[in-house]
Amino acid sequence: MAITRERLLEMMTAYRSTYLLRAAVELGLFDALAAGPADDRAVAAALGTSPRGTRILLRALVAVGLLDAEGDTYRLPEGGELLVTTNPGYAGANVKVAAGDWEWDTMRDLAELVRTGAPAAGPRADGTDCPYWVDFAENLTFVTKSGAAFLAETLDAGRSDILDVGSGAGLFGYAVAAGHPESRVWSLDGPEVLTVARRHAARLGLDGRAAYLEGDAFDAPLGGPYDVVVLANLLCQFSRERSVELLRRLAGVLRPGGRLAITGFTTGDVPPARAHHAHMLELLMLGWTEGGEVHSTDAYLSMLAEAGFTGTTVHQRDGLPLRVLVAHRPEQDTEDKGAQR
């Protein structure tokens, strides 16, 4: 793709569309137009906002294509229902993740992060006290539900004891457990994130089959043994060496023949221009972790083999920017893995 002045200007000002969307979602502006078209005075009255501020915001939203207008009357465009909170497909909450303050504050110093290779000051994403993961759990991304369903279909686990490591909202482990009425799932994460996971379990009718383990995956007691271990969007937070260390630990809490499933973005499988989200996530790992990177499929295969897993298969689905890797703990271990439980 050629670099042009027009393209450069579009990139330089793209953040303006982001702050427009953030403000409109925060104000509930799209809800105010859900019942039908309205003028700026009616919208301001519904929102309790200043007439001048509302008028300026409405016109700007038209300018970026988030609203349509005819004279002084504004209406939702095609697809606008995605931004109405009462719609089952509401997507606006994801602005708290995709355009959250923590990411903005970190990325303004990207040049310095590249110079030093060190993470930004403050809580790190590879710790259990990072506030970003609470927002991430509470406001599911666009691929969370579809990714969880894909993982469950790929595993087709039957009756299983499942450990979901770095569970976040818990949806990946819950999706696997939902496949059999006697399956149970243990979610491992920080205490504040697990509070959100508990709410999701109750919403899905799985709270009676869900348990919770608080702490860091590298040193928290893991219990077990398990039939399935799930790692969703987790190993990108760690270097290759740390990832192998964790995989070895998890192998020790799997039953012989049990399976470990990795799901998430990968790099190196397609040209970077076709893996936009993976490379943007990798920038966040530069700013938020000591050594995290979005690993390639080949790197995952190598790490799993080094950790003692066998028979790894790779799965992908058109339209879903995630891959699922499923590996097996051998039926007969050739060495003592020294599991910590």
Residue ending a domain, choose from 90, 117, 148:
90
- What integer is the mean pLDDT of 221-242? 96
Residue 29 is part of a domain; what is its CATH number? 1.10.10.10
Q: Rg of the Cα trace of the chain?
A: 22
Whether residues 136 and 86 fall in one domain: no
Provide the greatest CA pair distance for the chain: 75
Q: Which domain holds residue 262?
A: 131-328
Residue 97 vs residue 302, higher pLDDT: 302
Predicted local confidence at residue 229, as pLDDT? 98
Whether residues 85 and 162 fall in one domain: no
Average confidence score pLDDT of the chain = 92
58 belongs to a structural domain: yes
Whether residues 152 and 64 fall in one domain: no
Give the Cα separation of 329 and 227 in Å (integer): 10
Whether residues 147 and 50 fall in one domain: no
Whether residues 159 and 61 fall in one domain: no
pLDDT category of residue 216 using cuts at 50, 70 and 90 = very high
* Among 126, 116, 325, residue whose Cα is nearest residue 234: 126
Residue 84 vs residue 91, higher pLDDT: 84
Whether residues 135 and 26 fall in one domain: no
Q: In what order do the strands lie in the sheet with 68-70?
A: 38-39, 73-75, 68-70
112 belongs to a structural domain: no
**Where is average pLDDT lowest: 47-51, 127-131, 191-195, 287-291?**
127-131
Predicted local confidence at residue 94, as pLDDT? 86
Whether residues 78 and 143 fall in one domain: no
Tokens representing 310 are 């066998």
- The per-residue pLDDT for range 113-128, each reduced to its tens digit, is 999 999 988 888 887 7
pTM: 0.88
- CB 28, CB 85: distance < 8 Å: yes
334 belongs to a structural domain: no
Predicted local confidence at residue 129, as pLDDT? 73
Q: How many domains are contained in the chain?
A: 2
Residue 199 is part of a domain; what is its CATH number? 3.40.50.150
* Per-residue pLDDT at 34 exceeds 50: yes
* Per-residue pLDDT at 132 exceeds 90: no
Whether residues 264 and 323 fall in one domain: yes
* Partners of 323 in the β-ladder: 264, 316
46 belongs to a structural domain: yes
- CB-count burial class (<10 Å; 0-12, 13-18, 19+) for 305: middle
Whether residues 69 and 201 fall in one domain: no
C-alpha angle 269/272/276, rounded to 5°?
105
Whether residues 70 and 198 fall in one domain: no
* Contact residues for 143 (Cβ-Cβ < 8 A; gap 6+): 320, 321, 322
What is the CB-side half-sphere exposure of residue 65 using CA atoms within 13 A?
Answer: 4
Whether residues 61 and 197 fall in one domain: no
Q: Which long-range contacts (CB under 8 A, 24 or more apart) does 137-140 make?
A: 137/168, 137/169, 137/170, 137/193, 137/196, 137/197, 137/200, 138/93, 138/96, 138/169, 138/196, 139/93, 139/94, 139/95, 139/96, 139/97, 140/93, 140/94, 140/169, 140/171
Report the percentage of the chain scoring pLDDT > 70: 97
* Partners of 70 in the β-ladder: 73
Whether residues 172 and 83 fall in one domain: no
Which letter does DSSP use for residue 148 in this model? H
- CB-count burial class (<10 Å; 0-12, 13-18, 19+) for 274: exposed
